[in-house]
Structure 1
Amino acid sequence: MTTFNNHLPLTGSVPQVRRAQGALAGIADNAYLRLFAVVVAIAAGAAALIIGIGFLLDIVVPVIFADELRALAALFPQTVG
């Protein structure tokens, strides 16, 4: 059993103190905003991965084949005429 959302019943006139909430606390309270934040983070990670793979191929392929045109000819031999 967890202690999340378990509140003691109020007896008498006990004042409720509400905490000041910042932007992140406001997002943490809303399930839809949390889901949106997770989807945005996953999309940003995927975009960074694709860009990283592109840069890696742009650097590694010419090093292996010494020239980009020869690299394309080696990778796609059926297009060379």
Structure 2
Amino acid sequence: MTTLSHHLPATGSVPTVERAQGALTTVAANAYLRLFAVVMVIAAGAAALILAIALLLDLVVPIVFANEIHALAALFPQTAG
């Protein structure tokens, strides 16, 4: 017995199920939205880096120079009277 003569009964087309697309699927399908998402992630990282550097300087400068006035005088000696 061979399987060459066996056929599935013709019942018509099989219905396809449409899947709902989530936000990430929609973004991944559109090149402009992907570019926008990448730019937003880079901008958020840059903003976080700037805030971290500002916070670090705000914490370290008073410890090293005792206060901000002495720090400014040490960093810019030409302005110190």
Whether TM-score is above 0.5 comes out as yes
C-alpha distance in 2, partners of 1:48/1:58?
15
Q: Extract structure 1 runs of 4+ deviating beyond 4 A.
A: none
State the AA in 2 paired with 1:77.
Answer: P
Unmatched runs of 5 consecutive residues or more in structure 1: 1-11
TM-score, normalised to structure 2, is 0.78
C-alpha distance in 2, partners of 1:21/1:64?
55
User: Which residue is 1:78 aligned to?
Assistant: 78
User: Which residue is 2:17 aligned to?
Assistant: 17
How many residue pairs get aligned? The number is 70
Q: What is the deviation of 1:78?
A: 1.1
Q: What is the deviation of 1:23?
A: 1.1
Structure whose alpha-carbon radius of gyration is higher:
2
Aligned-pair identity (%)? 73
C-alpha distance in 2, partners of 1:61/1:23?
44
Q: What is the deviation of 1:35?
A: 0.4
TM-score, normalised to structure 1, is 0.78
Deviations 1:16-69 (A, max 9, x none): 333210111111110100100000110011011001100100100110011110
